[in-house]
Amino acid sequence: MSTALVTGASRGLGAVFADRLARDGMDLVLVARDRAGLERTAAAARRHGVSAEVLAADLSTPAGRAAAEDRLADPYRPVEMLVNNAGVENSDVFVEADLHDLQSQIDTNITAVMSLTHAALPGMIARGSGSVINVASFAGYLPAPGSTYASTKAWVLAFTDTMAASLPGTGVGMIALCPGRMRTGKHDAPAAPSPLWLDPAAVVDQCLRDLGRGRTLCTPGWLYRSVVGALEAPRRSMRAAARLAGRGRAKHGADAPPSTTRPAPVRTAA
């Protein structure tokens, strides 16, 4: 069976990812700080007939990241899918926030995504298959004033965009998941249906479909998708122009006639 490593898997969207991947027949490595929560997620996953390994680790610390990196880089137990879902949201305005809390947010939302992806990609590329899902946020596009959380999610979007551009032809895919508000229990959601509030299971389903289609950005929900689509339009045009310019340069170089200029004679000292 293939194996997926899911961070932030003790609850919320991470637990939903774990359940869906287990139903798809993937073995799991579940990572989070909350061991009790991980055990609950693992027990639910095992009911689908897969194995679920629990790795209690705080990804805001070097030791916690090292434990997850070592598991990802183990050549004898390959991981075919990495879901970088763990995230910390500091809602304080920057000038009022505790500096230690801000650094912990950066280490979880940015440093862990970078280091775990760096540990996973070499093996995936060598095997010619694999995928990385980086959970970003709609806040990365339209942040609240003074939001440092939004800044970290904007980094996840940019990181995925640049890394995915280097992967064509390797058999490895990478996608940024950009959801809005979700009914995970983390925030108080209205009882009535609303386009602002998304069902986590539907979010995961859409992400996996888009990953399978080779897309590098997934924005579930028609309302969020329409806004992000408008914001992304200029960047898509620039990417297309850059690809065309690159092909033009390559064609020009291939069609150019060989130089007929003779090299200058080498002068030697008398």
pLDDT at 262 over 60: no
> What CATH code is carried by the domain that includes residue 152?
3.40.50.720
Which of the following is catalytic: 76, 141, 149, 224?
Answer: 149
DSSP string covering 78-102: --SEEEE-------S-GGGS-HHHH
The answer to whether residue 65 is domain-embedded is yes
Amino acid 231: pLDDT = 83
The pLDDT tens digits of the residues spanning 30-69 come to 999 999 999 999 999 999 999 999 999 999 999 999 999 9
The answer to whether residue 259 is domain-embedded is no
The answer to whether residue 153 is domain-embedded is yes
pLDDT at 178 over 90: yes
149 flagged as catalytic: yes
The answer to whether residue 20 is domain-embedded is yes
The answer to whether residue 136 is domain-embedded is yes
CA angle, 169 then 175 then 180, to 5°: 165
Mean pLDDT of 153-164: 95
CA–CA separation, 261 and 87 (whole Å) = 60
The answer to whether residue 97 is domain-embedded is yes
Domain range spanning residue 187? 3-233
pLDDT at 192 over 80: no
Tell which residue, 16, 254, 218, has the closest CA to residue 135.
218
pLDDT at 214 over 80: yes
The answer to whether residue 225 is domain-embedded is yes
Between helix 12-23 and helix 200-212 the angle, nearest 10°, is 60
The answer to whether residue 270 is domain-embedded is no
Tally of structural domains, the chain: 1
